Amino acid sequence: MDKSKRRVVIAGNWKMNMGPAETPVYAATLAGMYAGVKKDAAVDVAVCVPFISVTAAAAALEGSGIKLGAQNVHWENKGAFTGEVSPSMLRQAGAEYAIIGHSERRQYFGETDAGVNRRALAALAGGLKVIICVGEREDERDAGITDELVAMQLKLALRGVAEAQLSGVVIAYEPVWAIGTGRTATAEEAGRVCGVIRRTAASLYGKAAAEGLTIQYGGSMNAANAAELLAQRDVDGGLIGGASLKAEDFMAIVRAAMR
C-alpha cells in the first residue's frame, strides 16, 4: 500500500485539562513553536480540547495552521439534550474535528458502538471531520480477539457512512491497555492491527478507498517512540494524550511526522 496516498494526522487530545484561562497561553505557545517547524503539506496537526475551551483555542490558534477539534459530539443538532454539544455548535465555535468513541467515553460514560455510529453520522453530516477510536482491553487482547473486536467496532462505527464521506474520517487504533499507562504496543504490533483496520475498511469500501484512509495509533505515542511507530506502513499519524500537554514533546512528534 502507498502511504503517499494518505494524509498524516497528528492530533493532541487534551482530555480534561486546560480551561479557558490556561488554553490561550498554551495554544499560543504551540502556535509559536509550530511556526518554526518545517512543514509537510501532507501532514495535518490538530488539538482536541474540552468543550469549554474550544472558543479560546480557536482565537489563539487563528492563522497558525493548527486545526481544532472537540473531544465528543452529540448526534442531534439541537433539542432537549441537556449537557450535550451539537455538530453545528462546534462548527460555530471554530472546531473542525471531533473525537468519537474514545475508550474513556466507552469505559466511564457508557458509550456504545451504536452511539459512536450515530455521533459519526451526525458529525459528518454537520461538516465536521471525525476521529473514530477503536481498540481492545487487556483481557480481550489476552483472549486473542483483538483483530475480531477491532474489525467489529469499525464496521459498526461506519454503518451508513458513504465512501464519499471517508475523506472526513480518521480511525484511531487505541489499545485500551496502553492509554495513559505508559505502555505501548510494539511498532510492529501497532502496524499489524492498523493493517487489520485497513483490510476491514477494504472489505467495506474497496481497496482503493481503504488505501486513502488515515489510521492513527493512539496508545501512548510520545516523542521517543513516534518515529518508529510512524514508519509502519499502515500507521498514518497519532492521537496523542499525555504528550500533547507538553508543548516540546508534542512538537517533537509533529517534527517526526514531518520528516
Q: Which amino acid type is present at position 198?
A: R
Quote the mean pLDDT of the chain: 95
- Taken in order of first residue, the domains within the chain and their CATH numbers are 3-258 (3.20.20.70)
Distance CA 250, CA 10 (A): 9
Q: Which whole number is the average pLDDT over 237-247?
A: 96
The position carrying cell 464521506 is 165
pLDDT at residue 177, as a whole number: 85
Which residues form the catalytic set?
102, 174
Question: What average pLDDT score do residues 77-99 get?
Answer: 98
81 grid coordinates: 439534550
Backbone angles phi, psi at 28, to 5 degrees: -65, -35
C-alpha cell at 149: 473486536
Question: In sequence order, what are the residues at sequence separation of 6 or more whose Cβ sits closer than 8 angstroms to the Cβ of residue 220?
Answer: 178, 179, 180, 181, 182, 183, 184, 241, 242
pLDDT of residue 179: 76
What average pLDDT does the segment 109-132 reach?
98
Judged against a pLDDT cut of 80, whether residue 183 lies above it is answered with: no
pLDDT band at residue 1 under the 50/70/90 scheme: very low
- Written as nine digits, the cell of 248 is 516540546
pLDDT score recorded for residue 2: 60
Q: Is the pLDDT of residue 45 over 70?
A: yes
Q: Under the phi-then-psi rule, with left for phi > 0, alpha for psi from -120 to 50, and beta for the rest, what region is 111?
A: beta
pLDDT by residue (tens digit) across 24-41? 999 999 999 999 999 999
pTM: 0.96
What is the mean predicted confidence (pLDDT) over 10-20? 98
The radius of gyration of the chain's CA atoms, rounded to the nearest angstrom, is 17
> Average pLDDT in the 81-110 region?
97
116-125, 128-137, 182-191: segment of lowest average pLDDT: 182-191
Select from 253, 205, 248, 204 the least CA-distant residue to 26: 248
Q: Tell me the mean pLDDT in the region 124-146.
A: 96
Which residues are CB-contacts of 50 (< 8 A; sequence separation ≥ 6)?
14, 15, 16, 17, 18, 19, 71
